[in-house]
Structure 1
């Protein structure tokens, strides 16, 4: 029997195990049934795929090469898994950052100040925990909102706006490959750039790395030196790039998604840190995270059966990709492009395999009719909890620009306050530009959406969404309690006492939730929704009252005008009656 015939026989054995599964929390589409004939053809095409199996997917990373320049994690790293690709550089022994002295010929601005917290809110005394280095285990080259925000913050403040973000995945590790790193372009041999770089990284790392930890920055590389938040120590850096032409910033998952105290005003504790995705399947990328996970990864040694077909990463090509696209019902480009990848993630979720966005061995096996094996804990990405889902959730990774059409455009239009016809035309473009100009974290010349644009639009519509992960109970204090009390229309003293607890119990009863008196995510949402409903009702009542008063004023004005007109007409009539009739003598003359 030939290999091709074997593939066809496997395909004919039946489709994948249709196990129960919820809708994908981000990419909501109908379940796609795989046609057996399509599977057979897919198997034939995969056999002649032109792509390469990653070096590290074979378990042998000795031959890994590339231009990765990121720092190797010298501390215990989160993410689980062993082996695999390595980083393109490493930090060595302690070495102080060498900075140039101040020079009036090269004046460097004072450090940035926080202008994003709500009015009246200040940064807390506590600082976010930073215990581990969260290494790259995911292939997801989509720049995350917190990374873009920090890049724009530094670039605009120091008037050095150039930076690069995500990169296509290769056989090296780098947080660029999962959208959690930025290279801020500065020249260490230029006296002005050097002083800007020195000043910026000093601001970030001073005081045990306070600002870096508030921003969720886990490592910095600049001019032959590397720094890590987990121990706050500058070290010598050795790698393929000395980082003399850019400052490299790598972020935790919380920092990447703007969940840290610089953005929220609430410092993350060790128990609240997003541990990130778990690399528990040998030779494969971890699932792309959809929601935060505070559970540490459980080590596992699970190796899937090798199908013999080549792994295809985002941007990769192969004859099998186009046929996969026909199954996913996306444009058949032959490239694992962003649209195909998002559809693939949704399909992987529906099939019960890790949502990697990569054509990997488990995905091939299921596509060819195999059953989903029992997977290690943490292999699949956790779903977004209901209390975090908004109208923006399915679109947070969508890139739309002028000329595009669709549901993402319609959601964008509604958020920008323009006619939601689903067509990105000049009016929508102008509204997006106006929104960007009002946001200090966005570039003014914005022409398309990115993850930061969507994050800010969602935050504008749901200002307290970030606090739904903060659990509150009796005797708690601080900013989240103040915000909760404002939603409940209580005195905002920031102390969770009996009065606040009773108001929480009442809100839970009204929302038909378990009356615990503890504010969890579902309770936050219920209280927030109730406050929004009250505000909308008050706004509606106010608008109706204003409309009534306007109508009444118009009616009164009309009545007054009519009365005046009638009075004038009556006066004219009376005046005509009072005029004396001409005498006969006058008539005779």
Structure 2
């Protein structure tokens, strides 16, 4: 949102202090989930931010904004949002990666209830009577929604009329302070932030792993739906419709998952354990990440805790005699070698997927390691490069375009907002700003989402040199000297471990894809 538009709303229309209940309706009981909770909040409260306008061009999504967006999207099952925006829109915090547009429609009764419930929660006083406590704990600087604006730098005015170019009836706009954007505030750290950082400088807080696979039902859309669609064998258009619902139930039945027709935790977990999708957050049963880790009596740490939780014994992280006895009992039950040592094969048995038996019960033909996911060399843009979209176009291709552009409603209707976002993207990428898709536009969108597509068949290992090594190092945060040495191999192993891949230190198609996922996550 530009400062000019904001000032028009604040000065040309008289400021009006409204009671919260008059401007934001209370959500109906049971209509939307209760707000998120956090047991780690301190008694101290974060400072209310002054107005901090855009001062630099740095559109990469900032960690606090991304974490807040994911928290809201996953908690309320409303997944359409945008953060980053090119630096040719005038003054806007989107161009610093510290503003969020959450696409909720004020004229849709359910989405209106979600929006009003969230805003009531953010604006409410805490137990000590301090106003807008939750907004301050996230470092939110101002909010625009449904023709009204609220800000921490003018809290006494409450919600006041807003008359900018966009009425903000199709999305809520959140702008964050630099401290909120960099995740320094108390919701994330458990400590109140009492100073004001007026520039991008400073050390960002730790990014919370809020990227667990969400529970998705018919009617949902987005990249996680598309990911599941590839596994269950339907067109990966990102739309959870009747065909996806039917195919999902069939897949669940064939893979011994409770048949719900819902992408729930058990379903995601099974997909991870079968090697079809990468581990994420707590979705891997706590086990898949340890498939390449052998543990035995005397071992300690998170792998031991995961083992103990699965066996239903005290999870103290110490592999002692009791744990060994439980492992041996499990091995005997599953016709494994009874030696008390947890290897890849034992982890697979614990996870409930195919494993190799050792006497007494025959043997499966499945190898010890999970089936590797296919290396993709094509994308959803492959068949769209000759598709011309312009104002008035409709359909699935428009939705693909809108998701790629970000910051616009993914409704399949090519309107003025989509055209504006497309022109901005074209300008930012040195393309003719026609507002109409061309083959080069689709290629640029593809390169943005899949920056390593061209390298997926390039194998790198210790001793490799050249430009591909430089690219790898650059995105791993290393010095890009183009020489694949020990530090590069160590960083690659760490990347592979985060994504449930064998920690070989070699880079092939699956490792390039894993790095690509991390790059997209950083961009929000």
User: Does the alignment reach a TM-score above 0.5?
Assistant: no
